[in-house]
A and B are shown apart, each in its own frame.
Chain A
Amino acid sequence: MNLETIKSELEAAVPGCRLELVANPSPSGQHSLRIDAAHAVAVAVCLRDAPGLRFDLCSNVTGIDWPGKQTTEKVKLRKLVDGTQQEVEELRTTTTPGSLEVVYHLFSIEKKHGPIVLRMSTQDRDANAHLPSLTPVWRSAELQEREIFDLFGVVFDGHPDLRRLLMWDEFVDHPMRRDYVGPDDYEYEPTAHDEVLRRANQHLSEAAAKLPSEAVGNQQSETDGNRLSEGGGR
């Protein structure tokens, strides 16, 4: 199945859609098609129903986090300084907002071909992290899109039941994002190094700071089994 031919077929069938071929440099040869959010459902229906394509199995839905980048560069400008034109160097910072990407792997059970890889990106990682849900097209996307909502924070418009899948409902973070910082849990290692060592040193200094004022109190306080204080020095 040539991705070029599929692309032209889709462009003919769904007018106005913007498709982009994304080459995959690895030896796997699985190139992907980036589709725009506005026509995603129409493209998906065409992929599923067109007689030559018949991609009826949506096998895998993956979320990917591409965090934003801030790049600073020196730019030479001509500016009016003290009445004379001078060349001035300025630091210009460009911020790319980053995006969350959703990748769909499609196969065909009827024609036994595939995979076709579709990609959709959000505009940013905050308020505009919305994408159309492909669950009305392929039911198998239902739980997987819920998981991406839970772990990445992408809101799928049109999903029949969008709530958290793996974490508890009161949880507010999106743990699979690259900038997620987990709670400090006192993981214990006999030979601590790197991150665990840094945190262990931090715990030690926090405990030492607490010791003079509270040590006596801790040893003598009533340990009532039903009344808990904040544990562990968070």
Chain B
Amino acid sequence: MITDASPAAQPELEPLSETSEEQLLEIAMGPQHPSTHGVFRMNVVLDGEHVVRLKPVFGYLHRNHEKIAESETYLGSMPYTDRLDYMCPITNNWAYALAVEKLAGIQVPERAEYLRVIVGELTRLQNHACLIGFLMQDMGSSGTPLMYAFREREKILDLFESLTGARMMCNYMRFGGCRVDLPAGWLDQAKIVVADFPRFLDEYEQLLLSNEILMDRTQEVGVLSRELAVSAGISGPMARASGVDYDIRKVDHYSIYDRFTFRVPLGSHGDVYDRFMVRLLEMRESVSILEQAMRDIPAGPIVDPKMKIRGFRPKPGEAYGRIEAPKGELGFYLISDGSPNPYRYRVRPPSLINLTVLEDLCLGQNVADIVAILGSIDIVLGEVDR
């Protein structure tokens, strides 16, 4: 019997009858699972293939970062911030440095700001590339797009290694600037990497965007409405894919982002496909910012000369500093009581807050869609659990 595949010709399906509690299946996805982006667990209750309830369980990577920070000095917590969102260590450092600079009123010199923008946008590039790679991997493409993404990531990690000494945990920011200046030839090498990036983006777009399987699995899946996104505090590319026009680089005017011309891509449907496309377009904008920054970077000091880190005791008070991290709004809230250690150190984790709506997005979807939706939210457990 040949059936016409067009939507108009689909036979009317009978609505599912009321399934009793005994017929529902409860499964635990995670904490060890190939697609959960780390040790994350979801208790999913299924009616056949459809999700009826989904309760996430957090805390499998709760490493007591906030408690440890209360017994460390302000600078001593900087390496720990690397390990929060471990795909983007440098932007974590930046957010923390920004918060302390607000708390103590420290100025950042010109060259340091340009350096921060350059390494920050490079981090954004490699984060988005890896995210798209992981999303493809989770949807079953057996690792090939991930290999392409990691190829680009390795180029950027080589740049970080020659600059900071470490591939991942760079520990690059200091209060009032950066730790180390560019070695000779670094800028030329970075320009080559950035000039090469659009070719990789074109390759990705060509490979994947006309892919029927991808279209089917991501369009109209996990739709997040604009109102829910605002109410649930969703930030970053996930919010912008739902049409929320809020990019902290443009709103807070922090650092020197006002000097660069770049656009903020917005989605209209709020589904997985939109979240994926917004990140792809953001990568192109990041390349543009990088080209401008590397062209305009001035000479000068890389740390505020008035800043003394020995015996650093900010005056009592508090400050909340936030940046547009690749995952969303990453904020640090610090309370100082005049001692070398912070009285309260709080990380506002974008990944955790973006997960508030996980159940709403997954209700009624198939089990296989949970993986695509979770991948599109872009979580890193180091940040969710701290």
Contact = CB atoms under 8 A, between A and B. Distances in A.
Given A27-B103, A62-B333, A143 B230 contact: no
B356 A59 contact: no
A216 to B, nearest CB: 40
B317 A59 contact: no
A185 to B, nearest CB: 12
Q: B interface, by DSSP: helix, strand, loop or mixed? A: mixed
A141 B314 CA distance: 29
Given A26-B105, A27-B102, A27-B103, A59 B230 contact: no
Contacts of B66: 176
A64 B344 CA distance: 7
A138 B231 contact: yes
Contacts of B103: 26-28
A60 B333 contact: yes
Interface stretch (B17-25, B28-36, B346-354): B346-354
B320 interface: yes
A85 to B, nearest CB: 44
Interface residues of A, number: 33
Which applies to chain A's interface (DSSP): helix, strand, loop or mixed?
Answer: loop
A60 B232 contact: no
Interface in B308-355: 314-322, 329, 331, 333, 335-336, 343-344, 346, 348, 352-353, 355
B333 A175 contact: no
A30 B336 CA distance: 13
B59 to A, nearest CB: 4
B353 to A, nearest CB: 5
A167 interface: yes
Nearest to A60: B348
With a 10 A CB-CB cut-off, give which of A115, A140, A167 has the most chain B CB atoms.
A140
| Range for the number of chain B residues in contact with chain A | 35 or more
A62 B233 contact: no
A140 B62 contact: no
Contacts of B322: 59
Nearest to A146: B58
B320 A60 contact: yes
B319 A59 contact: no
B368 interface: no
A140 B232 contact: yes
Interface of A: 24-28, 30, 56-60, 62, 64, 103, 105, 109, 112, 115, 117, 138-144, 164-168, 175-176
7 contacts: A24-B318, A25-B315, A60-B348, A109-B246, A139-B232, A140-B234, A143-B356
Given A59-B348, A142-B232, 7 more contacts: A25-B315, A26-B318, A26-B319, A28-B318, A57-B230, A139-B228, A143-B356
